[in-house]
Amino acid sequence: MAIRAAREVLIEAPMPVVLDALADVEAWPSYSSMHKHVDVVDRYPDGRPHHVRVKVRVLGLSDTELLEYRWGPDWLVWDAQPTSQQYAQHVEYRLTDEHNGASTRVRVEITVEPAVPIPEFMIRRAGSAVLEASTTGIRRLAMQRTSSHRVE
């Protein structure tokens, strides 16, 4: 049975800054305790990640995922190869300009197909942790980038 979760957040940064924060996958362990190690396998010609190997620990279960990223002007999608813990994982980020481009609304949707049945309370806890990293962590990273680019 597929597990689905979604969240939306407003980030007080322009869309290019948010997309750059999403592309900085090596920063995941700095704001997500479930991401233990990130290795960019290869990149697109523009420097954005294409394939990424990630070691994660969620609900006491460790796994190594190989993610394939696809990028658009206002979206990011990744799919994971099957692992011993999951048959599939699909993540979508949709970005929308707000406040004349000064802010970006980010909607993240996650679908995971676990390899084994998981109790409902564990699904809710894991979904909350994943969405927290997927929105609040990205927001913090984008805000850091915005403040470091401001001229005083």
Q: Is residue 34 part of a domain?
A: no
- DSSP string for residues in the chain: --EEEEEEEEESS-HHHHHHHHH-GGGHHHH-TTEEEEEEEEE-TTS-EEEEEEEEEETTEEEEEEEEEEE-SSEEEEEEPP-SSEEEEEEEEEEEEEGGGTEEEEEEEEEEEESS---HHHHHHHHHHHHHIIIIIHHHHHHHHHHHH---
Q: Is residue 117 part of a domain?
A: yes
Q: Is residue 46 part of a domain?
A: no
Q: Is residue 41 part of a domain?
A: no
**pTM of the complete model:** 0.88
Q: Is residue 49 part of a domain?
A: no
Q: Is residue 66 part of a domain?
A: no
- What CATH number is associated with residue 126? 3.30.530.20
Reading the chain (152 residues) residue by residue, the pLDDT tens digits are 788 989 999 999 999 999 999 999 999 888 888 889 999 999 999 999 999 999 998 878 889 999 999 999 999 999 999 998 889 999 999 999 999 999 999 999 999 898 888 887 877 777 787 888 888 888 999 988 887 654 44
Question: What is the number of structural domains in the chain?
Answer: 1
